[in-house]
Structure 1
């Protein structure tokens, strides 16, 4: 690559410091957070930022689909109760401290040069950047599909981990806040393909952080029960089917893996109850 190893790692560390400053300076007076160990700084920033993003995106999405567009996208009898939403938030908040361990670990590994992250697009050039990004996303899509599918097909994993999320198995029980209502280990397992991909393909560090940000927004969107009908996106219509049949639409961002492995079900089809 175009820069030395030391310069490359220094740029990643400086970028992480900048992210930490944006969040932590706003909530920790006097810069006291700077005295914390670096991993704890990143974890605290991920926790505060992740919690704020989850709550803000969830409330805005609920306000839009349940109030501003009431009965337009979601029928009145399919709107979850306030209590159901509250309980989803409680589950997510209990898991959030653990969810934030993984992005913190990713940053720590990148800062120490243990991954194939690079700091600047100039190190590889734009054509290579897009090739690497495409390969990264394919690896993540493949990995999350199979991790999610095994969480269903391996009975102990489903019983002790994934069942926590699948109590939301009807449209009137799903809301954007269900997106992070997981057992902590379940959520971490489904995100591990991001870690694996970092050892297999060069990845732009800023893009990695952006993808982590998008994960929270995306998971709120796909639990909102609105089918956007944008091919080949795995929209909320597909994911609602997943929550009602348990055996279809395991994919993450797209429908391609489900199409390839025979588990795709289109939202236009009539729902079937699980066997």
Structure 2
């Protein structure tokens, strides 16, 4: 756990780089961000928030999957995070224990979404903050069983199998692309 804390703290300044750059782009008007919900109305805000989630889910699923499938990316970046590959080596600190470039690459879909989807800037910042909480949560090995949320049960399988459950906040992308492995079924298979 001390190693996880050390790796996470060493990478933390780099994790701050992407939000800083994205805020600079927003401030200069390069994105589709809007400052107030009143600028677009509640219906458009909710629709854009849903679209933002879809783009981020899609982007992070593929980024995470490619970090596994492209061998040099795995070897030099993502393997740093996957040394925690057993349930007893995972902890909330493992959620931030990434190579800095790996952490940035997995956050890039949030920034890409700013260029395609009209996005409320404070909602974007709040979702980045919630991402840090979420990533700690999915590494704590306490499966909340709230379908279709990608909980710790699903993500623990990801750390032990390497080929399943690449998703972000939900299991939708894994379900649609055949990489989902359900923790309930996994337990049943082990009992057989």
Choose from 202, 205, 214 the match for 2:130.
Answer: 214
Choose from 139, 142, 161 the match for 2:58.
Answer: 142
What is the distance in 1 between the residues matched to 2:81 and 2:162?
A: 11
The aligned counterpart of 1:123 is: 39
Question: How many aligned positions are there?
Answer: 188
Question: Could you state the TM-score of these two structures normalised by the residue count of structure 1?
Answer: 0.67
The aligned counterpart of 1:27 is: none
What SS does structure 1 have at the residue aligned with 2:43?
helix
Q: Cα offset for 1:209?
A: 1.1
Q: Cα offset for 1:270?
A: 3.1
The aligned counterpart of 1:68 is: none
Deviations 1:189-230 (CA, angstroms, capped at 9, x unpaired): 001001111000100011011011101101000000011111
Is 1:159 aligned with 2:39?
no
Choose from 149, 163, 188 the match for 1:233.
Answer: 149
Is 1:263 aligned with 2:162?
no
Give the gaps of 5 or more residues in structure 1.
1-84
Q: Which has the higher contact order (CA 8 A, sep 6+)?
A: 2
Is 1:188 aligned with 2:104?
yes
The aligned counterpart of 2:12 is: 96
Deviations 1:61-105 (CA, angstroms, capped at 9, x unpaired): xxxxxxxxxxxxxxxxxxxxxxxx111000001111111000101
Larger-gyration structure (1/2): 1
Q: Cα offset for 1:135?
A: 0.3
What SS does structure 1 have at the residue aligned with 2:184?
coil
What is the distance in 1 between the residues matched to 2:2 and 2:119?
A: 37
Superposition pairs of residues 164-179 of structure 1, within 5 angstroms:
164-179=80-95
What is the distance in 1 between the residues matched to 2:186 and 2:4?
A: 27
Give the gaps of 5 or more residues in structure 2.
none
The aligned counterpart of 1:107 is: 23
Q: Cα offset for 1:183?
A: 0.3
What is the distance in 1 between the residues matched to 2:26 and 2:80?
A: 32
